[in-house]
Amino acid sequence: YVPILHRLVQHGLRGNWEKGCPVDKLLNKMKVPHEIHGDAPLLESSNVQRKVLVFVIGGITQTEISLFAEMGKIIFKNRYDFHVGSTEITTGNELIKAVCPCVASKSVKGRL
């Protein structure tokens, strides 16, 4: 499983966010404004490492942050160095409380 956020960033870095492409259609359907700033994507043969800032408005989990580092190493062969920022770090307990409040209220306090 790879979260959609990571797939969107992956497609963006490969230059697949052009007007009319599947990612563009998906983001438009979801009414998500989007654009990429900076140079064109790196060619597969390039040895230059670029820094990429991914900033999430809302929560992101520690696992999702770690996955960006793995993407940089495995998928992009160290051509990208990801830096992730967010307005909030979401924990598993917070996620359960937000998505399933009835489950959270039945659990023993402090244990989920």
pLDDT in tens, 59-80: 888 899 999 999 999 988 898 9
What average pLDDT does range 84-95 have in this prediction? 85
pLDDT band at 111; cut points 50, 70, 90:
low
Single pTM value for the model: 0.68
Contact 86, 80 (CB under 8 A): no
Query: In the structure encoding, which two tokens stand for residue 16, read together?
Result: 């697949």
CA 38 to chain centre: 18
3-class secondary-structure state, position 56: strand
Dist CA 112 CA 93 (whole Å): 6
CA 55 to chain centre: 8
